[in-house]
Amino acid sequence: MRIEEDCIGKLPIDEQALYGIHTVRAVRNFPISHEKLDPLIIQSLVQIKKAAAETNHAAGTLATDKQQAIVAACNDLLIGRHADSFIVPAIQGGAGTSANMNVNEVVANLAHRLKPAVKLQPNDDVNQSQSTNDTFPTAGKMALLQQLPGLLGAIGQLVQTLLVQAKAHEDTIKVGRTQLQDAVPTTYGRTFMAYYHLFKRDLARLQTAGDHLTVVNLGGTAIGTGVNATHYYQENILKVLNQNTKLALQSAPDLVDATQNCDGFVEFSGAMKTLAVNLSKFSNDLRLLASGPQSGLDELHLPAKQAGSSIMPGKVNPVIPEVVNQVCFEVIGNDVTVTMAAEAGQLELNAFEPIMLRDLLANERYLQQAMHTLVKNCLRDLTVNKTACAKSVEQSAITATVLTPYLGYVATTKLIKQAVAQHDSVKALLLKKQLLPATLVNQLFSPASLTQPRATKPTAMQSQA
């Protein structure tokens, strides 16, 4: 064991451990769950330490041997070595200080192991020109940006799959429904095209919110004033970090603003929440349209993926939309957490970024995987029951809506009531009553007439009506 000391006191630390006293205190203080800090945040913090060492050395504030030792340690960590040294909990007090110090301690101790002649101090050397208050939120944004292409790709895959279904079913007529009651007909082509446009908007929203995540406060140190950092460091740290990571981070125009306010996280969370709301509504529609098969709507046939009951033989449930629903509930709940955490920030700093970043990173992963399984295990092999859809349109009295320009609202209502009472179709009853010429009736009840705006009614037709 070795003894380390901080402003609180002394603690024994395992001699072989790369972490130090700040890390051990964090583990003892925050026994909330077994969940550790996200590896992407750790990797991003390591990238910041490496870039800071290179920039500080160029500024003349860090000796060459220390710079080389820090870079060597960071390179070792960036290829995945010593991952078990990062043990701080994901949910932690202190605005991320425990996370930052865990990395500082590991880098300092590993650098000494790799270059025994060089002795490094975690705060003075590894954390030089930095504060948790600029490194932790920057690392969080870097982590979110690294996961974002996967999320955007999953939305793009969903959008393209919906477009394929829209084109495949552009002539498949179906009964429309408003408030779960029969409405005028539409087509499954239009239904899927509406979903296509819905998720295209989600894609655009997330792209815009993601662009805003590239604005960071690195170089602002404690509260955005840049105290203890050199002008050279402030002007060059992002150049070095971007060169090392291939990210396109940019410095916030007001570092004080960027240090204390978390509206960028709220915006990004809100874009994911909107996606979750839309995905959940879409999943609800899929489950309803596929309900039955004998006693439901039975318009969509979802791929059978697993037995649905431990007691009812042959039952198959819509398990893929169900799991997507549950993911969406989680994402929406996490958005509430992010919102409240951002709102709870005070004065020059928000102390609640650990829970924000934990939930934002989780939401990115949840949504990406949910859309992957939705496309792969449901939408690609989904089929439309064209026969049932056509029969429903034929039997639906609400198709009489196309008659109101010819018979008027009151007369059409009476016709609908009679058709329903006699269990007859409106078209058949109309032909029996000879209220309109048969050619006109057949034209009005054609799929094209039932699902599109009508042409201007000819004068001759008006007189016939």
Closest CA relative to residue 21, chosen from 121, 114, 102: 102
Distance of CA 135 to the CA centre of its chain: 24
How many CA atoms lie less than 13 Å away from 222 in the CB half-sphere? 2
Look-up of token digits 């429309």: 176
Question: From residue 233, how far is each of 223, 240, 346, 389 by CA, in Å?
Answer: 16, 10, 28, 67
Taking CA 92 as the corner, what is the angle to CA 126 and CA 41, rounded to the nearest 5 degrees? 50
Please name the residue ranges forming H helices in 171-224: 188-212
29's tokens: 């203080």
434's tokens: 């000879």
Question: From residue 219, how far is each of 59, 203, 214, 227, 404 by CA, in Å?
Answer: 14, 31, 14, 9, 69
Q: Which are the contacts of 61, defined by CB distance < 8 A and separation ≥ 6?
A: 128, 129, 230, 233
Q: Which residues are catalytic?
A: 309
β 250-251/215-216 pair status? parallel
Label residue 27 exposed, middle or buried (CB < 10 Å: 0-12, 13-18, 19+): middle
